[in-house]
Every structure is written in structure tokens, then in C-alpha cells.
Structure 1
């Protein structure tokens, strides 16, 4: 197995990282508006608007055959890993052409061709699944890496500690990505955890290399992810990234919870640290025409989202007699 001493070979240009964030932002904003106005998507939805740098920065450091697992806030990692947009939108509409054949909805996305292995709604569930998948890949002698995304709330589940301990003992090539947006639904981190304790410190307690960084700085996230992936691919065991970020919309749904579950001034302060705007300003300092490029991307990606919605609306719903397909298989000799 190779033992690199430098970060992994996948280095994305700043313009590529910015473009991917703009795409995710535009797609999710279009879907949020349609979800609210048309009432045709009835699956629970957890948008990553405001958190795009985490998904883009990490997934850009992965190779195509590396795997990604996520919790319920799955759209951004799915798209950043190369998941098919049309299939995702069809899934949100409950259509047969969806990536889970219309059976799973927003929280159960999958695209094996892109290396997006799956997402699930149970808090912390995919932390253990990703750990097991990475262990299996390592046992087969591959240099593939698995990344799993979860929130700060999932870090309070027992499975978080069990998985990290197991991964450290067996030197499993898994990158744990905690998108710390400071809230578990409407419960702030400060009300749940002792002051001054970082989640990354808990990972270090298991002997895992861990970093805490600004999750709204896509360049910093990408550089840290490259270090993490190189570490795992070299057979040195797991790596932990705690990314401080913030969701702009409510925990579940297309609306806003400013002044309801979260203070107005807190939300506005985080919006001033928008990952898209920060990356654009940084890139614009080195090149001209960035605002025109942003406008062109905005039009391109909103059109892409609308085409995916039109395709979803034209697609059929699953036939009633086949709704349990994939849930279980009856034995051949069953009556």
C-alpha cells in the first residue's frame, strides 16, 4: 500500500470549488421555494444552505471510487460527490425514477456510480456503517477511503464513541466529518455541552488525528481534507475534521427559524460569513469578472434545477403493487 508524505493528489482549483458551491446553493434554493409553494415534494427535507463549503471541500479531495455516507442533511454531499441531480429531484418527488426508486425521499439518497453510498435519517447511524465499510475495504487490501458526514448532535450518540474507538484500534481508513452547525434541531450546543469542549478533542481522546477549523472557508476545508485523505490512504488510521459552520434555514423544511429557534443577530452574523461570498471575494481579488461569472453560474444552475424538477413531475409514481420492492425478498418456496 502506498505511503504518501504529502496530501492526496486531488487538488481542486479555487474556481472549481466556488462553482460547486454555487451549484449546490442554487439547486437547494430552487427546491426550497418549490417545496414551499407547490407542495408536491412531501418528503422531509434538510437543506445545507450556508454549509456548502464542508461538502464541497471534502468531496473534492476524494477519488471517484472513494465512498461517502451521510446523515439526514444529505443533498450537498450527494451533489458534491457527483450524485445525479435528476435522480435526486425525482426522489424528492417520490417518483419511480428517483435514486431510491421513490421509496426513500430526501434522507435516503444513493448513487453508487458516483461513490455516494447512502444516507439515513437515524441520528448517527451512518457513522458506524461508514466505519464498517472502510474496514471491509481495508481488509480487501484496497487504498480506498470512506468519508462520513454528520452533525454535532450525532456526536452525542453512543455509536459515535463506539465507532471512533473501533476505527482507532483497527486503523480504519475513514474520515469523520462533523459539520458542527451549533444546533441539534433547536437545542444550541452551549446548552448541551460544557463550555470550551470541542468535539475534535473527543476524537483526540481515542488517539485519532483531529482538526477543528472554519467550515465556511472552502479552501481551508479542502486543504484539511486532502491531509485527512492522504493519512487514511496511507494506512495510518482514521482522521477527524470538525467544521464550524451554520445552516441558514430551519432544521427540517424550507423555511427560516430566525427569531424563533435562533436569535436574529446570530443568524445574520453567520450569513455575513457566507462560504460562497467569501470564496468569491477571495477569487475576485486575483481575477476580474467574478461577479459576471457568478451571475452566469446562477442562471445555469437554476435552469438545471428547473429541468430536473420538470423531469421529476413527468416521471411516474411507483406502482402500488410494487411499493415493497427492495424491502425484502420472499423465499422461492413461499406460498
Structure 2
């Protein structure tokens, strides 16, 4: 509706200096705007999620705020690691924020989430504060400035890779180990006759693990409500997907179970896909395999500069053309859901709350 009215404004004889006021009035009159996503790729499906997605002003501001908080938190974690206040492992999620925010916007509170060691964002979105997460990262080594043994997510016992919340089952340090656990969570939902699903997340590297095929077989055999999600950020540690996988269409990896490829840099496409996937699984149709195409800005971990297997120009080009936060910001400003000043205010609040 807003796009139509915006075109009317441009075609009208309203003076240019008054057009912004008219546009603002239109935004107040319509609190929801529709967008088109990139086409989905489907495997063993006749139809999939809708490419016509909508978002309200309140949700748009909420998504932007959450993605900014995650980006800022991961920047702070990276800086703390460089200052040697975080020791050991530290895997950052910057660049992949749209997946976590979009999924959590569509899930039910009693759905189960399980992921790999790149879990800070999921911990934040399932109930922990940024302070609790950073305390856990530093408190694992009992640094007196950040007493994580008292205030960390798991009281300093887990560190970067092992954080948990209600219905969030980690944070798992072994590549692909969470796949079988995710199937077990889906089995629990079906056994207890609950209309809930298990979101079992892993990377493109873990998509080559043998246990994935075993649990796909079990989930298909028993029609378990398990949504397998491959967060394809292009690299398994330092190895490009094309050098590790004979077939890089991970949404087809389930072979005999249906799959969907999704633009993982579009928070609205992710949310719509999760909504559709929940309905599919809750209808008793069995598991799904989703592939969210995304990108990580940092190296595999903080010990990896991320420059030996990709160029700085590649990373900068992705930041410039595919960044999930910038892309969403431009989209909602152009649609009139938010002004640039409003989003700057959110940026200021986030910077004040999380100071790298």
C-alpha cells in the first residue's frame, strides 16, 4: 500500500517541500508494508514459502534493534579477545544476524533450538543479556574484571561454545554432534504429542558429517518434526564449500526429504520460511532441510584472521552489497516504516549499552 501511495505523491502536484510530511502521514496511516523476497529454490516440493512478505513498523524496529545488538556484542567480544580478556575458543556470528533474528521471530516459545559453537546470538535471543554473555566469555577464565563465575550465562562453566537457555540446548563444541541431539528433541515433541518442532542448525562444513544422513533417515522414517538448517556461510573453517562438497546445494542434502534454499541475509525471508516450515512439520509431514545462504565477516574463530583463504576485497564487497542490517535498514526507510533519524537513535542506544 505504501509503495502505491508513494507513487501517487510523486505523480501529484504536491510541492517537494511538503512531500516528506505527506509521506509521514501515510506511514502513520499504514503500519504494515509488503516486500518481495528473492525466489526460493525447492527440492521435492510443489510449493514453498510465500515470496510476498510483510512487516509491521514495530516488528521492523525490533528486528533492526536485535540485529544491531548482536553485531555490537560480537564486535565487543572480538575486542575483548584481542585484549586477552577472553581465552580459548571464540566464534563470532557477525554477518549472519538475519538468520537468528528471523527464526526467533517465527518460532514458538516451546520449540527447541540446538546449534554449533557459534552460539552467542542464539543465547541472546533466547533470554540472556549481553552482559551475561560477555561475562561468560571472560569469566570462563575467572578474570576479576568480568566475574563470569557469578554472572555468566552458565556461571563460567561453558565459555564461548557451551551456553544454554530454556529450550535452547547449546552451543555444542563437536562439529555436527548437535544433529543427532536435534533429532532427539524432535522425537520428544512427537512422543509427548506437542505441536512443536526442533530447529537443528549446523554449518556447511558439518553438512558433510556422516551422522547427518543417519538422523535424516530416522526423522524421515518416523515423520519427526525436525527442521534441519544449514547456515551456509561459504567456508568450513578455511575450506570453501566447493572444495569440501561435491554438491553445494545443501537444501537437497536430505535427498528423500524436502528442502528449501533461502536468502539468509534477508530477515523477512527467514521469518516467512520458518513460519511455513512449522506449519509443514506440524501437519505431520515429517522433516525438512533448509539452507540459509549467508556469510561470516570474521574468521572461523578469533585465532583465524580469515584472510588466507579469501581476500579482504571479498569481505568488503559482501559488507557493501549483502549486509543483512544495512539491507534491512535501507528497505524499511525506503518503505516509510522508519526514518533515518529513528534508526540512528537505536544505533546510539545500542552503542551506549554495549561499548566495545
Find 2:220's aligned residue among 168, 174, 177: 168
| Residue matched to 2:294 | 245
Rounded to whole Å, the distance in 2 between the matches of 1:163 and 1:304 is 41
Instruction: Pick closer, same or farther for the CA change 1:151–1:99 going to 2, 3 Å.
Output: same
| Residue matched to 1:159 | 211
CA offset at residue 131 of structure 1?
A: 0.8
Higher mean displacement: 274-283 or 52-61: 52-61
1:1-335 equivalences under 5 Å are 13-36=59-82, 38-93=83-138, 94=140, 95-96=148-149, 97-112=151-166, 115-194=167-246, 197-203=248-254, 205-206=255-256, 208-253=257-302, 256-258=305-307, 260-272=308-320, 273-287=322-336, 290-306=339-355
Rounded to whole Å, the distance in 2 between the matches of 1:43 and 1:303 is 28
Q: Tell me the SS of whatever aligns to 1:47.
A: coil
Q: Tell me the SS of whatever aligns to 2:202.
A: strand
CA contact (8 A) 2:252 2:289 kept: no
Rounded to whole Å, the distance in 2 between the matches of 1:296 and 1:149 is 33
Q: Which has the higher contact order (CA 8 A, sep 6+)?
A: 1
Rounded to whole Å, the distance in 2 between the matches of 1:80 and 1:109 is 12
Segments of structure 2 that go 5 or more residues without pairing to the other structure are 1-47, 50-54, 141-147
Segments of structure 1 that go 5 or more residues without pairing to the other structure are 1-5, 310-335
Higher mean displacement: 118-127 or 94-103: 94-103
CA contact (8 A) 2:205 2:244 kept: no
CA contact (8 A) 2:208 2:245 kept: no
CA contact (8 A) 1:14 1:219 kept: no
Higher mean displacement: 57-66 or 233-242: 233-242
Measured against aligned partners, the alpha-carbon deviations of 1:203-251 in whole angstroms (never above 9, x if no partner) come to: 2x12x22101211111111111111112122322112210111100111
CA contact (8 A) 2:264 2:294 kept: yes
Instruction: Pick closer, same or farther for the CA change 1:79–1:233 going to 2, 3 Å.
Output: farther
Rounded to whole Å, the distance in 2 between the matches of 1:20 and 1:268 is 23
CA contact (8 A) 1:43 1:92 kept: no
Rg larger for: 2
CA offset at residue 289 of structure 1?
A: 5.2
Instruction: Pick closer, same or farther for the CA change 1:288–1:65 going to 2, 3 Å.
Output: closer
Rounded to whole Å, the distance in 1 between the matches of 2:114 and 2:347 is 28
CA offset at residue 305 of structure 1?
A: 3.0
Rounded to whole Å, the distance in 2 between the matches of 1:161 and 1:117 is 21
Rounded to whole Å, the distance in 1 between the matches of 2:265 and 2:130 is 23
Instruction: Pick closer, same or farther for the CA change 1:187–1:105 going to 2, 3 Å.
Output: same
| Aligned-residue RMSD, C-alpha | 2.1
Rounded to whole Å, the distance in 1 between the matches of 2:77 and 2:348 is 15
Rounded to whole Å, the distance in 2 between the matches of 1:254 and 1:55 is 24
| Residue matched to 1:328 | none
TM-score (norm 2): 0.77
CA offset at residue 77 of structure 1?
A: 2.0
